[in-house]
Amino acid sequence: MPEISLVVCVHAERDLLARLLKHAAGCYSELIVVHDGREVNDFGGVVFHKTLAKEMALDYSTLPADGAIPQFYSTPASPVTGSVHELVVEHGGRYFEGPSCYQQEPHWPFAWSQTDYDWILRIDADEFPSADLKDWLSQVRKAAEPDQSVSGYTCIWPLWNGSRALTKQLPAGRIFLFNKKRVRFFGMVEQVPIADGRFEVLPLALEHRPLRKSYGLSNLLLRKQAYDWRRNIALSLLGKPTDLQCWRWRNEEWPEIWEDIRRKPLRTGFYRLIMWSLRSMRDFWCYERKLIPSAAVCGGLHHCLIALVYWRLRRRKTVK
């Protein structure tokens, strides 16, 4: 396989990024880090969907490799001591600061456009490869280029309760490595790259270890960030995918998972709340021999809440 670019989008999180870079040593050839908002004297910026969506709505895959970077992004002249910027420079990486979007997905298309290599290793700051996954990455860098039909690879994403991992096989399907010329994407929170071909499934773990639990109702109901995400998704669904930052995405139609919410928000939301939760409970029992209700209901409840927010916003827009 050709060389791999590690791409990370952060907001602060210097210590977590340092942990990731320590564990990922030897797994990549190039490091690209995009900071959401200004790291120094960050006064919060402006809300993404109110002012920046249309300006940033570009297909970043069409940017010339040797061209000037878009005006929304820049690199400070010199890193501040103890900053994320300084850490990235110490590891030989390239560092950019973008507008405050309060989410990382809008920055991905730009970040991918800045890589010298086609294979993207996408890992969040609060994650790092397990020993087995690190060994696999080290070996795959020495192997031949995968077949053209392989767009990327998925892994396991164990649940973390704040002190230890609770699962070994679930959740699965976390896309962590892909070829940027074989996927399409639009920059909405919760959206993932869509393969031109297929994603190969690996029985290996990407450790997700935030400073809190990685699952549970508190993440959905008590974090302001979760409410911001749901509102941003709902606002995006009022428009078209091409109104967002894109990577090889030229279709104005939404993927089915989002189109169902647009067409029948209440019906879709409550269906997912019930059926997705029941299926997750079944899977946890079948694969882990555990019942973890607070984890099983998260996906369905999250989508139900997204659908409710979208329904309310659409109704308000129609009334106006």
The verdict on 184 and 262 lying in the same domain is no
pTM: 0.94
Comparing 55 with 53, the larger pLDDT belongs to 55
Specify the residue for token string 């002190």: 163
Report the pLDDT averaged over residues 160-171.
Answer: 96
Q: How many domains does the chain have?
A: 2
Q: What are phi and psi of 246, to 5 degrees?
A: -125, 160
The verdict on 32 and 80 lying in the same domain is yes
Q: Would you state the pLDDT for residue 44?
A: 46
Q: Would you state the pLDDT for residue 154?
A: 98
Read off the pLDDT of residues 218-267 as tens digits, 9 standing for 90 and up.
999 999 999 999 999 999 999 999 999 999 999 999 999 999 999 999 99
The verdict on 267 and 311 lying in the same domain is yes
Q: Would you state the pLDDT for residue 53?
A: 59
Q: Would you state the pLDDT for residue 42?
A: 53
Alpha helices in 68-140, H assignment, sequence order: 84-90, 108-113, 131-140
For the chain, give the percent of residues with pLDDT over 90: 88
Task: Give the CATH number of the domain where residue 123 resides.
Answer: 3.90.550
State the residue range of the domain holding 137. 4-208
User: CA 162 to CA 21: how far, in whole Å?
Assistant: 21
Residue 149's CB: how many other CB atoms inside 10 A? 11
The verdict on 135 and 257 lying in the same domain is no
The verdict on 118 and 56 lying in the same domain is yes
Q: Is the pLDDT of residue 46 over 50?
A: no
Q: Would you state the pLDDT for residue 52?
A: 59
Residue where a domain stops, chosen among 182, 208, 234: 208
How remote is the C-alpha of 288 from its chain's centroid? Answer: 25
- Classify the C-alpha dihedral 171-176-182-186 as positive or negative: positive
Q: Which helix (H) or strand (E) holds 27?
A: none
Is 177 exposed, middle or buried (CB count within 10 Å of its CB: 0-12, 13-18, 19+)?
buried
List the 172-179 sheet strands across, edge first.
Answer: 94-98, 30-36, 4-10, 119-122, 172-179, 150-156, 198-208, 127-129
DSSP 8-class letter at 92: T
The verdict on 99 and 232 lying in the same domain is no
Read off the pLDDT of residues 101-156 as tens digits, 9 standing for 90 and up.
889 999 999 999 999 999 999 999 999 999 999 999 999 999 999 999 999 999 99
